[in-house]
Chains A and B, each alone.
Chain A
Amino acid sequence: MRGRDFLDTARRLCAMNSESDWRSAISRAYSGFLLEWRDALKRWGFKIAPRMAHSDVYQHLRSGSTTDLKQLATRFQNLSSKRNRADNDLSSHRSFASSRDALDTVMDAKDGIILLDAIEADPVRLAQAIADIRAAFP
């Protein structure tokens, strides 16, 4: 199984009819994005601590200065903040009254994974991304 498989789960949850489904969709979308990038960074030779994936992945992505990495870091930050609210703040939140924001979050996570695929499909872009992160994490 790959992290991106969680996006299929998230899409199914978006089609359900309750707040807990839509909150869970956001959580699964975030996990899909996180795990795809955790595994990519490991493939690229970086050490990601097993129980520190969130912090480690974010630190690595935000260390970069290329447009690709800057976009990914802000996507990560945004998804993380939404996931925080969806999972941990159960007080009434107007947004979770429909599937709209869950659908947006799934799309945003998917876009981040599409960007990962594009980077890995382009040797020059990939080398640039790795070198960029390597400068901060030798």
Chain B
Amino acid sequence: MLVSQTPVEITVEAADYLQALGLQAELDEVIEKLPEVFPELLRIECEYDPGIEDESDPTFVINTWLAADGPTDPTPLSRWLPWMLERFPSEVWRHLCVVHWHEVPDHARA
């Protein structure tokens, strides 16, 4: 059961892909863990990525939106990798790609 209060959006295409992969439990675990690793987490948006070059590497992308005033070093990816790699085998993390973005406040936009 999910206890995370972080808003989560999943596109229909991504939800279908996740169901085909059979990785709902793993996604739930990732969603539970993310706020622990990233106290500055604002929301999560999941989408399906067919792959960039030849569409041979489809991925369930978990876009995590972080507050811009969070720590800058190490990067979010370096903060996230140890847990993801320790917790799941390659059969899982190769399909669930966590990508970090920072929400830029309107007043700080270029």
Contact = CB atoms under 8 A, between A and B. Distances in A.
Contact of B97 (A77, A94, A103): A77
Q: Which residue among A71, A73, A74 has the maximum number of chain B CB atoms within 10 Å of its CB?
A: A74
Contact of B81 (A74, A84, A103): A74
Contact of B110 (A55, A74, A97): A97
Interface string A13-53: 00001110000000000000000000000000000000010
Interface stretch (B8-16, B20-28, B30-38, B70-78): B70-78
Interface string B67-93: 010001101111001001100001001
B29 interface: no
| Chain B binding surface, main DSSP class | mixed
A134 interface: no
Nearest to A99: B110
Interface residues of A, number: 35
A17 B110 contact: yes
Given A52-B54, A58-B57, A97-B104, A104 B99 contact: no
B90 A55 contact: no
A107 B76 CA distance: 10
A91 interface: no
A73 B84 CA distance: 12
Interface string A92-115: 001101101101100110010000
Given A70-B85, A97-B109, A103-B72, 12 more contacts: A67-B85, A77-B97, A78-B77, A80-B52, A81-B52, A84-B52, A87-B52, A95-B104, A100-B72, A101-B101, A101-B102, A107-B73
20 contacts: A52-B53, A54-B52, A62-B90, A70-B85, A70-B93, A71-B81, A74-B81, A81-B49, A81-B99, A84-B49, A98-B68, A98-B102, A100-B72, A101-B100, A101-B101, A104-B77, A104-B102, A108-B75, A108-B78, A111-B75
